[in-house]
């Protein structure tokens, strides 16, 4: 018998039932809920007179729509659509008795930052949320993925999910990262290599020395973008760093339960003789600080490169690249470092954690935003914000000319007042650069927090290695 992958092990531990055609019923350990994809699901429960099956395993927080400015408890400051969604979540959380972090609670933030922070996300769990970046929680060795609104209703009602098993893909990052190269560069470089469809039909396990060397926060950044690589989920086997991160968090197990959990968590790795359906290997030494030039997360190049020409591509990508370049307002052949930016956004569930803010602040310390560039730092949670303030990072950002905001998804997607103006170009630490993503006509270049900070200082895309 061949061994099992980490994915196989978690899957088997949660399998409730399997039909002839391979359709399975999985038990769900944690259900995270935000205001955008849940209103109809709760409405469905109401209409059929059902309760939430496991309110103690259901955690809700508003993040996408909420303004990131002071006074946001006053819903009059929101657009009508946002207000309706946030108020629906307030009411649903109360009516159905689930865990809830409203905007007035310091623990509020982006759902994928709040879950790990509060110890809801634990190794070996199944974690779902009506949100594609649920993959983030895979950093703990949890099987975590996005679900649609009808599935949100199903999980609320039954604490189970109907699923078909994906294939196993291994992404190994060997060796050590060079200075200035970060978890964000790893995850973008993987997508640059495999494309946005490279992971379709797979659950990815990231492994190798460079992944082991990452902090838990870095691992979350890597897994966060598994979805941009097309995968169902991204996973990293838990290790001492994982256990250390989890220990003592409000909802982590304690005492004898901790010991029992730890004993199981230590079995959560892929066996040496496990079968992989696809393997991708990248040497960490070959990864440079990268940026995206186009409107797909796979449009990744080392910062030392030049803007490509449509003819550099093949098939459907030729037209896609032409359209991208047109939307992005870029000319083939220009150096990436000649691209001027109007705005810098540091935040999101990809890079809105404390280490991200520390890394950006280290570059910005004693420096100023380039003339004419606006900058916004949006901590991923109220607790990240409080920690940053305790360390004086807010002062560094403010002295550099950045706005220091309250927690939320903010500019990452244009569902709240933080948006780019048409044509405005932004160096962003988020995960998607689609047309209009940060506001209609807005142009997004994805990169790491240190690269975004470097662009903030010079006013153009910049190789951070030249600043340090």
Ligand X SMILES: CC(C)[C@H](C(=O)O)[C@@H](O)C(=O)O
The item of ligand X, ligand SF4, none sharing an interface with residue 348, based on CB under 5 to 8 Å by kind, is ligand SF4
User: How far from chain centre, in Å, is Cα 357?
Assistant: 15
Which residue's Cβ lies closest to ligand X? 132
Closer residue to ligand X in complex, CB, 124/380: 380
Shortest separation between residue 347's beta carbon and ligand X, angstroms: 12
Closer residue to ligand X in complex, CB, 112/443: 112
Which is nearest to 287 in space by CA: 308, 306, 301, 299? 301
Burial of 430 (0-12, 13-18, 19+ CB in 10 A): buried
Distance between first and last Cα of the chain: 52
Give the x/- contact pattern for ligand SF4 in 36-65, rule: CB under 6 A.
Answer: ---------------------------xx-
Closer residue to ligand SF4 in complex, CB, 147/457: 147
409 is in an annotated binding site: yes
129 is in an annotated binding site: no
Closer residue to ligand X in complex, CB, 101/243: 101
Question: Under the criterion CB under 6 A, does residue 348 sit at the interface with ligand SF4?
Answer: yes
Closer residue to ligand SF4 in complex, CB, 110/452: 110
Shortest separation between residue 166's beta carbon and ligand SF4, angstroms: 21
Question: Under the criterion CB under 6 A, does residue 10 sit at the interface with ligand SF4?
Answer: no
Candidates 77-85, 212-220, 407-415, 444-452; binding stretch for ligand SF4 (CB under 6 A): 407-415
Laid out side by side, the sheet with 58-60 consists of 99-100, 58-60, 30-33, 126-129, 143-146
CA distance 131 to 60: 12
CA distance 407 to 411: 11
The item of ligand SF4, ligand X, none sharing an interface with residue 196, based on CB under 5 to 8 Å by kind, is none
CA distance 466 to 462: 8
**What stretches of 291-381 show up as alpha helix (H) in DSSP?**
317-328, 348-351, 354-364
Question: Under the criterion CB under 6 A, does residue 346 sit at the interface with ligand SF4?
Answer: no
Question: Under the criterion CB under 6 A, does residue 452 sit at the interface with ligand SF4?
Answer: no
Binders of ligand SF4 in range 411-430 (CB under 6 A): 412-413, 430
The item of ligand X, ligand SF4, none sharing an interface with residue 430, based on CB under 5 to 8 Å by kind, is ligand SF4
**Tokens for 163?**
């699923």
Region of 20 (left: φ > 0; alpha: ψ -120 to 50; beta: rest) is: alpha
The item of ligand SF4, ligand X, none sharing an interface with residue 134, based on CB under 5 to 8 Å by kind, is none
Which is nearest to 351 in space by CA: 316, 378, 329? 378
DSSP-derived pairing of the beta strands 143-146 and 160-163 = unpaired
Shortest separation between residue 413's beta carbon and ligand X, angstroms: 5
The item of ligand SF4, ligand X, none sharing an interface with residue 37, based on CB under 5 to 8 Å by kind, is ligand X
Question: Under the criterion CB under 6 A, does residue 221 sit at the interface with ligand SF4?
Answer: no
The item of ligand X, ligand SF4, none sharing an interface with residue 405, based on CB under 5 to 8 Å by kind, is none
CA distance 468 to 456: 14
- Provide CB contacts within 8 A for 66, sequence distance 6+: 72, 78, 82, 86, 103, 108, 406, 408, 416
Binders of ligand SF4 in range 129-148 (CB under 6 A): 131, 133
Shortest separation between residue 130's beta carbon and ligand SF4, angstroms: 10
**Tokens for 404?**
């220091």
Q: Which residues bind ligand X (CB under 6 A)?
A: 36-37, 64, 131-133, 146, 413
The H-or-E segment that residue 292 falls in is strand 290-292
223 is in an annotated binding site: no
Counting residues that bind ligand SF4 (by CB under 6 A) gives 13
Shortest separation between residue 429's beta carbon and ligand SF4, angstroms: 10
Which is nearest to 85 in space by CA: 357, 383, 408? 408
Question: Under the criterion CB under 6 A, does residue 458 sit at the interface with ligand SF4?
Answer: no
Buried b (16+ CB within 10 A) or exposed e, 333-367: eeebbebebbbbbbbbbbbbbbbbbbbbbebbeeb
Q: Are 346 and 449 in contact (CB under 8 A)?
A: yes
> By three-state DSSP, how is residue 119 classified?
coil
Which is nearest to 125 in space by CA: 110, 140, 146? 140
Closer residue to ligand SF4 in complex, CB, 4/34: 34
Q: Are 327 and 409 in contact (CB under 8 A)?
A: no
Shortest separation between residue 349's beta carbon and ligand X, angstroms: 8
Task: Point out which residues bind ligand SF4 (CB under 6 A).
Answer: 63-64, 110, 112, 131, 133, 348-349, 409, 412-413, 430-431
Known binding-site residues for [4Fe-4S] cluster equal 349, 409, 412
Known binding-site residues equal 349, 409, 412
């Amino acid at each position: 018998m061949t061994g099992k992958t980490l994915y196989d092990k978690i899957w088997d531990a949660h399998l409730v039932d399997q039909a002839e055609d391979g359709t399975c019923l999985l038990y769900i350990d944690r259900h995270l809920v935000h205001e955008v994809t849940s209103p109809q699901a709760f409405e469905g429960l109401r209409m059929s007179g059902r309760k939430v099956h496991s309110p103690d395993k259901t955690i809700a927080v508003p993040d996408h729509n909420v303004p990131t400015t002071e006074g946001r408890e006053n819903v009059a400051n929101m657009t009508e659509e946002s207000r309706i969604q946030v108020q629906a979540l307030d009411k649903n959380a109360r009516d159905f008795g689930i865990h809830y972090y409203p905007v007035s609670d310091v623990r509020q933030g982006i759902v994928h930052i709040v879950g790990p922070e509060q110890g809801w996300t634990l190794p070996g769990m199944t974690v779902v949320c009506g949100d594609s970046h649920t993959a983030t929680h895979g950093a703990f060795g949890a099987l975590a993925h996005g679900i649609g609104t009808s599935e949100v209703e199903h999980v609320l009602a039954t604490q189970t999910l109907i699923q078909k098993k994906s294939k196993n893909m291994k992404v190994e990052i060997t060796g050590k990262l060079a200075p200035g190269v970060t978890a964000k560069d790893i995850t973008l470089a993987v997508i640059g290599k495999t494309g946005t469809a490279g992971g379709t039909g797979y659950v990815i396990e990231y492994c190798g020395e460079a992944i082991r060397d990452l902090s838990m926060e870095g691992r979350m950044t890597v897994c966060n973008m598994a979805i941009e690589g097309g995968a169902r989920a991204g996973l990293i086997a838990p290790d001492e760093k994982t256990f250390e991160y989890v220990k003592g968090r409000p909802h982590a197990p304690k005492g004898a339960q901790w010991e029992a959990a730890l004993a199981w968590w230590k079995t959560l790795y892929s066996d040496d003789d496990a079968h992989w359906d696809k393997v991708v290997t990248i040497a960490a030494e070959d990864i440079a600080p990268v940026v995206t030039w186009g409107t797909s997360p796979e449009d990744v190049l080392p910062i030392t490169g030049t803007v490509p020409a449509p003819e550099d591509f093949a098939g459907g990508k030729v037209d896609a690249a032409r359209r991208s370049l047109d939307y992005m307002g870029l000319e083939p052949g220009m150096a990436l470092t000649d691209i001027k930016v109007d705005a810098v956004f540091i935040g999101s569930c990809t890079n809105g954690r404390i280490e991200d803010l520390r890394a950006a602040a280290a570059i910005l310390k004693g420096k100023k935003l380039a003339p004419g560039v606006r900058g916004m730092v949006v901590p991923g949670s109220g607790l990240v914000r409080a920690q940053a303030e305790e360390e004086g990072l807010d002062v560094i950002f403010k002295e550099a000319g950045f706005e220091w905001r309250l927690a939320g998804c903010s500019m990452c997607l244009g569902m709240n007042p933080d948006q780019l103006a048409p044509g405005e170009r932004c160096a962003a630490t988020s995960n998607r650069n689609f047309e209009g993503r940060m506001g209609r006509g807005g142009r997004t270049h994805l990169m790491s927090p240190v690269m975004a900070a470097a662009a903030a200082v010079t006013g153009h895309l910049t190789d951070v290695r030249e600043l340090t």
